[in-house]
Structure 1
């Protein structure tokens, strides 16, 4: 794996940032077990926040449905607008949707977005890769990796996720063409898997096809756990919103099955078509959206569970995982006063960031909407709380010359090499349990290798000869 170079980040643009040197005022607090979680606003006056991704540059990457892609400074709330897409069609539920970053971002500064556009008078969907320039603060050189997917003003998906194996998942809705969800020749109603250059992985379930799973109605949440398990959230019709455990090649039933295989016709279809039942469902529907995994000591009662942003019911749900991740326990709801919640991400410090979606035509926006909310345990002391949760890792050879290998116990969220003065000289986002460090260009001496994962943070010395 190639190394990543750190970049000097300069620039800032609008959206009512909060003061850099003061703690944002609390909007509310709520208990999670014995922990008090404080809610504050990081950025305001946004428009239908669709995606929030914690980047390897330690900034939040954001999409807004009308077409703007931005970076948000988590320390100040400053929003740096990078690009407003020139051909996006933000009508109804369509527009700019999911975003993902290349796992070796500093040497391959690629930003992947999925959005709706109009071609020959018809609404379509495409996956596009942009190249980011930190110096210029721009996204340029758009490359369409997958396009001309049928779309409507609803049921377009679409969430993006880079897996630990370095491939990219993209969810698509059925575009109101329900039978296409069962048609593996169609890209609608699917979770698709591509290589990061847009090619089709050789080990996909259907040879030569990007289809990874099928039988989906409108999946809008997607997350991979450190053990490799995949989960998605999916909108049902007037019943049976779902949380699914995603397994390659499986059929998820739609439109022949709504929720569980609990009707006679559904049971027959499920038995004949390799249908994977959901882990849990909601009737009446709640409109589940962004999904993430929380395993940080800052909020202990959320550890090892899923967090789900909910639109219709305007809540944040904690979903505990049980039976080795094969079941979801009883959910608990939080935050009922901020309106529709769509986007969610977690920082390495255990803070949860939520994007509201009150300007999407279905909410009741207040003057400061839409917002990025921060949920945090302000009493948490990282150094003390993490002392017993340091992820042990190995570096070999050590001393090293041109390269070294880092062996990790779990997939890390971030890895950095710094000199003894604290200057970061290499950063990367590991994609597996073994990561090669390219040490070419570094002077001989002693360096610190720091690894962050959901288990905590650990540092080891590396001697370069």
Structure 2
């Protein structure tokens, strides 16, 4: 994992248009000619898309089901998911297919139980999945209502598992390095233990987060997260090992409850906190998952960071500088307001971007390509 040591949001005035995003970087002309196709439907709050080496998809659904998608056909995976507690925002969430799936047939899921949020590793045999690491990691905090109990996973360029977690709407959790909530964790995919080189010698990689919904790794190893703000300032952040991202609704333990009136990144309380690469201002978009567009088929969009939005019902395309700043943002009209709430984002082995809807009824997996 490369340590990110310097970055800033880049506010360039050139190229602004009336396509305003309301955020801390200028907007640019929306790209034209994206093609959006439905490749699967009949799903319920699909949280993620995990691609198998042969192009089939594993799609976890928040109520506690996993779909296997092949050629537009949706098959339920037979798996013991009886301990999934699907309440509010919580349930079955992220899924990662192991890099050695060809031989191991393994994938890992993250979900709420009645007691915690935990990771479980499975072996897939046909359409049946069996637990083999149960749990891989347990004890992530959970809110009984499901609020801010999220979990988003991605693999870094060293093959370690990055896990973005929510603060469970408890004021003291984000700044408490003894808690696994409001953090990005970096663990060994096989053991669930802290990965070598972690800044505090445990599983914690960064802290001071509110509610991480997306984790994306650029080809050079730089890691970006998408995070929900309260009534203002959703954030795109660049991870810096050991960084504090400045969310403290307990006001240093002086305020009871969960004070959402504090800044999303409180640079007054924490002068060394890592500033956001981009923030939404008002209104928030409830940004969710994130994925980089890779390959020549994307043309001028190659290297852009695609971020889905739940409340905003759109995809935002971030042009990122080499240093990790946000140069500009655009919104493709084909993915604005036409499919409802958008949650998952993953680039497939065919180079297309796959996006999931999260409307609760007849949700879909969308395939996005550049004409």
The SS at the match of 1:193 is strand
Residue 89 of structure 2 corresponds to which residue in structure 1? 93
Structure 1 residue 214 displacement after superposition:
0.2
Tell me which residue corresponds to 1:26: none
SS, match of residue 107 in structure 1: helix
C-alpha spacing 1:141/1:202, structure 2 compared with 1 (3 Å): closer
Q: Structure 1 residues 330, 37: closer, same or farther in 2, change over 3 A?
A: closer
1:188-207 matches, cutoff 5 A: 188-196=181-189, 197-207=191-201
C-alpha spacing 1:241/1:173, structure 2 compared with 1 (3 Å) = same
Q: Could you tell me how far apart the structure 2 residues matched to 1:202 and 1:351 are? A: 33
Unaligned runs of 5+ in 1: 1-30, 261-265, 360-364, 380-465
Q: Does 1:316 align with 2:315?
A: yes
Report if aligned partners of 1:174, 1:181 keep a CA contact under 8 Å in 2: yes
CA contact (8 A) 1:132 1:140 kept: no
User: 1:174 and 2:147 equivalent?
Assistant: no
Q: Give the whole-Å Cα distance in 2 for the aligned partners of 1:183 and 1:204.
A: 17
Q: 1:118 to 1:321 in 2, by over 3 A?
A: same
Match in the other structure for 2:297: 298
Instruction: State the Cα distance separating 1:140 from its structure 2 match.
Output: 3.4
**Counterpart-to-counterpart distance in 2, 1:351 and 1:58:** 11
Distance 1:95 1:234 in 2: 18
Q: CA offsets per residue over residues 273-311 of structure 1, 9 Å max, x none?
A: x31111111121110001000022223232111001100
Cα shift at 1:105 = 1.4
Once the two structures are TM-superposed, the CA of residue 352 in structure 1 deviates from its matched residue by 1.6
Give 2:53's aligned residue: 56
The answer for unaligned runs of 5 or more in structure 2 is: 1-28, 252-261
Cα separation, 2, equivalents of 1:211 and 1:323: 26
SS of structure 1 residue aligned to 2:173: helix
Separation in structure 1 between the aligned mates of residue 139 and residue 264 of structure 2, nearest angstrom: 30
The residue that corresponds to 1:353 in the other structure is 354
Partner of 2:10: none
Residue 215 to residue 345, structure 1, CA distance change in 2 (3 Å): same
**Are 2:309 and 2:341, in contact at CA under 8 Å, matched by a contact in 1?**
yes
Q: Distance in 1 between matches of 2:119 and 2:203?
A: 13
Shift of 1:39: 1.7
State the number of aligned residues.
325
After superposition, residues 144-183 of structure 1 pair within 5 angstroms as 144-152=135-143, 153-183=146-176
The higher-RCO structure (CA 8 Å, 6+ apart) is 2
TM-score normalised by structure 1 residue count: 0.66
1:142 Cα offset (Å): 4.5
TM-score between the two structures when normalised by the length of structure 2? 0.82
CA distance in 2, matches of 1:307, 1:142: 32
8 A Cα contact 1:321 1:327, kept in partner: yes
Q: CA deviation at 1:246?
A: 0.9
Structure 1 partner of 2:112:
116
Tell whether the 8 Å contact from 2:318 to 2:326 is kept in structure 1 after alignment. no
CA distance in 2, matches of 1:290, 1:40: 19
Preserved CA contact (<8 Å) 1:32 1:301: no
Alpha-carbon shift at residue 323 of structure 1 (Å): 4.6
For 2:328 and 2:49, how far apart are their aligned partners in 1? Answer: 26
Alpha-carbon distance change, 267 to 91 in structure 1, aligned in 2, over 3 angstroms = closer
Other-structure match for 2:39: 42
Aligned-pair CA distance for 1:350: 2.4
Corresponding residue to 1:185 among 173, 178, 182: 178
Q: Alpha-carbon deviation of 1:106?
A: 2.0
Aligned to 1:140: 131
Q: In terms of Rg, which structure is larger?
A: 1
Specify the alignment match of 2:17 in structure 1: none
CA contact (8 A) 1:131 1:142 kept: no
Once residues 217 and 41 of structure 1 are traced to their aligned partners in structure 2, the CA distance between those partners, rounded to angstroms, is 32
Alpha-carbon distance in 2 for matches of 1:166, 1:99:
15
Task: Quote the Cα distance in structure 2 between the aligned partners of 1:351 and 1:109.
Answer: 23
2: CA distance, partners of 1:210 / 1:310: 29
Instruction: Give the Cα–Cα distance (whole angstroms) in 1 for the partners of residues 112 and 236 of structure 2.
Output: 25
